[in-house]
Amino acid sequence: MTRSIVRSLFVFAALVASPALAQDPAPAKGPDKEIAAKIKVLKDCVLDKKFARDEEGRQIVEFLLTKVQAGVDPKDLSAIAKALEDVLMAGSKIRPPENKVLYTAAATALGYCGPEGGKALRGAYVNKRFPEKKDWVPLREVFLRGVGRTKDETLVKFLLDEALRSPEAALQAAAGDALGNFEDAKEALRKEVVDGLIKKWGELEEKASQMGSANIEAQNAQDRLAAITDKWNTTLARLTRQNHHKFLDWQNWHNKNKNLPWQ
């Protein structure tokens, strides 16, 4: 069973990472009756109280994602986004965090559903259904990365707040990573994100430098830096079109260029 789930996740990850699926949806082609039929079956899978149909549900999510990437009618896209949101939110019985394959598939697919998908992911993230506990952190990371994938600029503030303030280093890293998707946003928005990330990075660097045998805060800062640095580096590079790797280099560049036009 475990091998089957791992294999299924691997196939799904390969699908969403493929070049053909990395592009934005093609123009709409009109309503698709097959989509409606699949959504109906997916609902039954989700509401199965024994979770015995999760693999069937995951395969339907994969099918719907393929449809979205090929281009669907706007009404179909809305229906798909709602069905995927229901995978996360419908039913009184919640799957345990160790059995999240269907949740992960739906959250990943929502990242390809534009603003409707982004809002659904944000709603799931802030809902107590998926609590702020260690066991749920990996799924909540998927939520954040999906929000970024939608490129919905109305959700940049939400992602930036999580990057700067989340108590979980992994979620700070994921939110910072997600912000890299806004590389084509207007300069003012990119500057706001870069300014926030660099200031927070500086605060952590200062705390981490105060190491001592009993300085727990400094150790925590070092651990947090280890989690976020690579992701934030990549995002800063995408948003600024620069190529630095160390905090001081980013800080120096930012001090010189924050009030100048960017590329």
Quick one: 160 and 57 in the same domain?
no
- Of 96, 123, 150, which residue constitutes the final position of a domain? 150
Quick one: 69 and 82 in the same domain?
yes
> pTM of the full predicted structure?
0.88
- Residue 16: per-residue pLDDT: 54
Quick one: 215 and 240 in the same domain?
yes
Domains of the chain: total: 2
Give the span between the Cα atoms of 210 and 197, in whole angstroms. 21
Which of these, 131, 152, 153, 151, lies nearest to 140 by C-alpha position? 131
Quick one: 87 and 167 in the same domain?
no
Quick one: 8 and 133 in the same domain?
yes
217-252 pLDDT, tens digit each: 888 999 999 999 999 999 999 999 999 999 999 999
95-143 pLDDT, tens digit each: 999 999 999 999 999 999 999 999 999 999 999 999 999 999 999 999 9
Quick one: 141 and 202 in the same domain?
no
Quick one: 169 and 232 in the same domain?
yes
55-72 pLDDT, tens digit each: 999 999 999 999 999 999
Domain span holding position 65: 1-150
- Provide, rounded to the nearest whole percent, the portion of the chain with pLDDT above 70: 87
Distance of CA 181 to CAs 22, 110, 158, 184, 221, Å? 12, 15, 14, 8, 26
Give the span between the Cα atoms of 33 and 108, in whole angstroms. 23
Quick one: 141 and 160 in the same domain?
no
> Which stretch of 12-26, 118-132, 209-223 has the lowest confidence by average pLDDT?
12-26
Quick one: 29 and 132 in the same domain?
yes
Asked if the model's pLDDT at residue 191 lies above 90, the reply is yes
